[in-house]
Amino acid sequence: MRKVSEFLIEHGKPSREVYLDHENSGWVPPEVVNEMLPYFNQKGYGHPSITNRPGWEAYEVLESTLELVGRTLNVSDGELIITHSGTESNNLAIKGAALARTDKERYKIIVSAIEHPSVIFPARTLEEHGFKLVTIPVDNEGFVDPEMLEALIDEKTFMVSIQAVNHEIGTIQNLEELVKIVKERDEKIIFHTDASDAYARIPLDVKKLGIDMMTISSHKIHGPKGVGLLYVDKKIKIKSILDGALSTQRFWPGVENVPALAGFRKAVELAFTDFEKIVERMKVLRDRLIDGIIEKVPDVLLNGPRGEKRAPDNVNVSFLHVEGESITIELSTRGVYVSSGSACTSRVLEPSHVILAIGRRYEEAHGSILFKISRYHTEGDIEYALSQIPPAIQRLRTISPLGREIMEEAVD
């Protein structure tokens, strides 16, 4: 197998780079990095639960971060649990609530067909312990049918978990309507939402929505990796899924990542400064990228909805007659960095379950590319990407057996 270092040496660094892979991970701005640095060796390097000055300084970071996030979600900081990632938060929500369950007659978990793997897999694990997993299908834009959800709910239903925004195709679910349906049927059913791709992109008022549990993640908003949060309504009972020495967090033992929390706090502050202005600007860039690809590249399919029903940072397109992995490599040599298929399974040669769930064929799913806009992108970045995407796809189609076959048929 060819070494990555050999590829990097051979191709060198492009003259211009546009990073559009913020779904996987992303660039952390200098303000966030500078906020983190003192907590490695100047202050707050102590254990947050220990009563000495470095420990108090560390605990202050935790307190202030939770207070700030609580204000953005309209919840109290006492309802927020610190974890180390969105994946950990989703696992704690689903498995922790299952462990705390007192009514053993409730064993049914409903999730949508396009949930993140960190929701689907824990739910599947619970099937091994007597729970029943029911997957609700979505339409061709990724929306859950409210009537179908209502039909699936019964007296056995324990939990419903439906994303606020889909991580691949940007579908913004009507959470308020879905929560209302669930709660009107049975107040005891727990409603969890993974809002990792919604937080700081769309307004989220947890109390207004009526959500019981909500997941968010630092690295999805230009914060550092290593921080996740789980909101748990005070009336919901959960148990820890990890055993160890308890720190400041009742349900998540271990030492908190204080430098990362300081960075996350700054990232939240930046994200919610001129929030509406930032979001509107991202929408303009998003639509320019979508329209430009459709205009300049033949045989493409937009995955997910248009307009206000789509997350402001999301563009997902299937390029027909060429594979997604080839596209990511080709665009990378041109300084445009994207991801193929599911960002969480891109090293596995399986098509995205999300793209298949909205009715795309396997070959269409294999050619799907995810672009993520950020508040740091410029019009020039988008125009550069649009200058590189058409020739990249054209070149790949000329060397792809399927692409050549299609082109020959068109000429004939």
> Which CATH number does the domain housing residue 382 bear?
3.90.1150.10
> How would residue 247 be classed by pLDDT, with cut points 50, 70 and 90?
confident
Considering the domain architecture, whether residues 62 and 85 belong to the same structural domain is answered as yes
Tell me the per-residue pLDDT of 190-214, one tens digit each, with 9 for 90 and over: 999 999 999 999 999 999 999 999 9
Q: What is the CATH number of the domain that holds 248?
A: 3.40.640.10
Strands 108-112 and 157-161: parallel
Give the model's pLDDT for residue 405. 56
Give every strand in the sheet of 228-232, ordered side by side: 80-83, 228-232, 213-217, 190-194, 157-161, 108-112, 132-136
Tell me the per-residue pLDDT of 216-239, one tens digit each, with 9 for 90 and over: 999 999 999 999 999 999 999 999
Considering the domain architecture, whether residues 16 and 145 belong to the same structural domain is answered as no
Fill in the amino acid letter for 65.
T
> How would residue 245 be classed by pLDDT, with cut points 50, 70 and 90?
confident
Active site residues: 344
Domain count of the fold of the chain: 2
The count of other CB atoms within 10 Å of the CB of residue 317 is: 22
Any idea which of 163-177, 233-247, 276-290 has the lowest mean pLDDT?
233-247
Considering the domain architecture, whether residues 24 and 112 belong to the same structural domain is answered as no
Q: How far apart are CA 129 and CA 234, in angstroms?
A: 26
Ramachandran bin of 122, using left for φ above 0, alpha for ψ from -120 to 50, beta for the remaining angles: alpha
Instruction: Say yes or no to pLDDT of 286 above 90.
Output: yes
Q: What is the mean pLDDT of residues 185-190?
A: 97
Domain extent at residue 292: 4-28+274-411
Considering the domain architecture, whether residues 70 and 189 belong to the same structural domain is answered as yes
Considering the domain architecture, whether residues 137 and 159 belong to the same structural domain is answered as yes
For residue 9 the two structure tokens come to: 């040496």
Considering the domain architecture, whether residues 316 and 219 belong to the same structural domain is answered as no
Mean pLDDT value across the chain: 93
Instruction: Say yes or no to pLDDT of 411 above 80.
Output: no
Q: Which of 15-19, 244-248, 344-348 has the highest mean pLDDT?
A: 15-19
Instruction: Say yes or no to pLDDT of 51 above 60.
Output: yes
> How would residue 2 be classed by pLDDT, with cut points 50, 70 and 90?
low
Give the model's pLDDT for residue 345. 46
The sign one gets for the Cα dihedral 318, 320, 325, 327 is negative
Determine phi and psi for 315, rounding to 5 degrees. Answer: -135, 125
Is the CB of residue 92 less than 8 Å from the CB of residue 252?
yes
Considering the domain architecture, whether residues 190 and 172 belong to the same structural domain is answered as yes
Query: Which SS3 state, helix, strand or coil, does residue 182 take?
Result: helix
Report percent pLDDT > 90 for the chain: 86
Give the model's pLDDT for residue 20. 97
> How would residue 402 be classed by pLDDT, with cut points 50, 70 and 90?
low
Any idea which of 59-73, 154-168, 239-253 has the lowest mean pLDDT?
239-253
Considering the domain architecture, whether residues 257 and 364 belong to the same structural domain is answered as no
Tell me the per-residue pLDDT of 342-391, one tens digit each, with 9 for 90 and over: 445 445 567 899 999 999 999 999 999 999 999 999 999 999 999 999 99
Considering the domain architecture, whether residues 129 and 180 belong to the same structural domain is answered as yes
Give the model's pLDDT for residue 4. 63
Give the model's pLDDT for residue 15. 83
Considering the domain architecture, whether residues 111 and 235 belong to the same structural domain is answered as yes
Taking Cα atoms as reference points, which of 45, 49, 46 lies closest to residue 247?
49
**Is the entire prediction scored with pTM above 0.85?**
yes
Considering the domain architecture, whether residues 373 and 304 belong to the same structural domain is answered as yes
DSSP state of 397: H
Q: What is the mean pLDDT of residues 130-141?
A: 98
> How would residue 406 be classed by pLDDT, with cut points 50, 70 and 90?
low
Residues 6+ apart with CB under 8 A from 196: 86, 116, 167, 215, 216, 217, 220
| The last residue of a domain, from among 252, 271, 290 | 271
| The last residue of a domain, from among 245, 271, 297 | 271
| The last residue of a domain, from among 244, 271, 298 | 271
For residue 211 the two structure tokens come to: 């959500």
Is the CB of residue 179 less than 8 Å from the CB of residue 159?
no
Considering the domain architecture, whether residues 152 and 290 belong to the same structural domain is answered as no
Instruction: Say yes or no to pLDDT of 408 above 90.
Output: no
